[in-house]
């Protein structure tokens, strides 16, 4: 249980790494939603800064891990421990009981990624998926430290909470991903513009890191794709998989850059 909370806390800090949102649909409209966080670059930087206390030099062999943790199973196997948690954490776990976590580690190849996802029966099950992901990321007392680190960054105010609510719609003729954005006040708008126009050396280094990070969307359909509103999107040879991405800087400026409208061949 403690290990799971640690993983969730780490996920809460990963809003600046390479993220991939994958939705796989089946013929009946059910499917699998998964957001993965590629930590390879981040872990490499932590090691360079001397923050990796579990270095491979201290181990006899290189660690390899490929595991999936299902919340419903964890709740059943650790129901006594969960019952003893503070009410806020218990309610949070209950809220995300239909989700699962993934962790893939290969020290030999210097790769590490984590993910959180949910199998759905229909597109309507994804109505509150962003809220569920954020709720999962909020588990654990250590999350306060994560919030402090985020708030202390130049873009902290514009990360995580202001990225709008994403709606998904899937029919026999097509698919849409659309973001409803909250309105910024004039002060917030000016503050954001000032941030991206800031030329100080320290902020420039911070921004350069975000330029090298991407948010990728991968959509897998049972039907062939006829058209899409993303001009530079990649379509697989079989015409059923659509992949596109945007830099984190562009995503923070405007989360609607990931919105898409897809039409299928009848």
pLDDT at 155 over 70: no
Which residues make beta-bridge pairs with 84?
none
pLDDT of residue 33: 97
Report the alpha-carbon distance of residue 29 to residue 123 in Å, rounded: 7
The pTM assigned to this predicted structure is: 0.78
| 116 against 40, higher pLDDT | 116
DSSP string, 1-47: -HHHHHHHHHHHT-TTSEEEEEEEE-TTS-EEEEEEEE-HHHHHHHH
Among 217, 252, 256, 251, smallest CA distance to 234 is for 217
Span 166-186, average pLDDT:
87
Band of the pLDDT at 136, cuts 50, 70, 90?
confident
Tens-digit pLDDT profile for residues 68-85 = 888 888 888 888 888 888
Band of the pLDDT at 202, cuts 50, 70, 90?
low
Q: Worst-scoring range by mean pLDDT, 74-83, 87-96, 191-200? A: 191-200
Full residue range of the structural domain in which residue 247 is found? 2-264
pLDDT of residue 189: 61
Structurally, how many domains does the chain consist of? 1
pLDDT of residue 37: 87
CB 76 within 8 A of CB 1: no
How far apart, in Å, do the first and last CA atoms of the chain sit?
48
pLDDT of residue 263: 98
pLDDT of residue 236: 98
CB 170 within 8 A of CB 25: yes
Band of the pLDDT at 195, cuts 50, 70, 90?
low
Residues 6+ apart with CB under 8 A from 47: 55
Ramachandran class of 112: left when φ > 0, alpha when ψ lies in -120 to 50, beta otherwise: beta
Residue 227, classed as helix, strand or coil, is: strand
pLDDT at 131 over 80: yes
């Amino acid at each position: 249980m403690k290990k799971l909370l640690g993983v969730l806390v780490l996920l809460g800090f990963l809003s600046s790494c390479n993220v991939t949102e994958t939705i796989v649909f089946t013929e009946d409209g059910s499917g699998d939603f998964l957001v993965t966080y590629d930590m390879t670059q981040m872990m490499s930087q932590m090691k360079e800064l001397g923050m990796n206390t579990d270095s491979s030099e201290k181990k006899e062999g290189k660690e390899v891990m490929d595991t999936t943790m299902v919340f419903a199973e964890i709740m059943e196997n650790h129901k006594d421990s969960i019952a003893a948690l503070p009410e806020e954490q218990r309610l949070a776990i209950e809220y995300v009981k239909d989700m699962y976590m993934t962790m893939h580690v290969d020290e030999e190849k210097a790769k590490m990624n984590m993910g959180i996802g949910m199998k759905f029966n229909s597109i309507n099950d994804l109505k509150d998926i962003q809220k569920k992901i954020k709720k999962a990321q909020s588990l654990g007392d250590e999350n306060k430290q994560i919030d402090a680190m985020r708030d202390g960054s130049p873009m902290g105010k514009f990360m995580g909470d202001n990225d709008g609510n994403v709606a998904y719609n899937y029919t026999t003729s097509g698919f849409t991903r659309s973001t409803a954005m909250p309105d910024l006040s004039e002060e917030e708008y000016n503050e954001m513009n000032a941030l991206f126009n800031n030329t100080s050396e320290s902020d420039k280094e911070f921004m350069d890191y975000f330029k090298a990070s991407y948010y990728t969307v991968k959509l897998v359909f049972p039907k062939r794709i006829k058209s899409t509103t993303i001009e530079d999107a990649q379509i697989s040879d079989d015409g059923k998989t659509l992949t596109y991405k945007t830099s984190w800087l562009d995503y923070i400026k405007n989360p609607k850059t990931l919105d898409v409208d897809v039409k299928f061949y009848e």
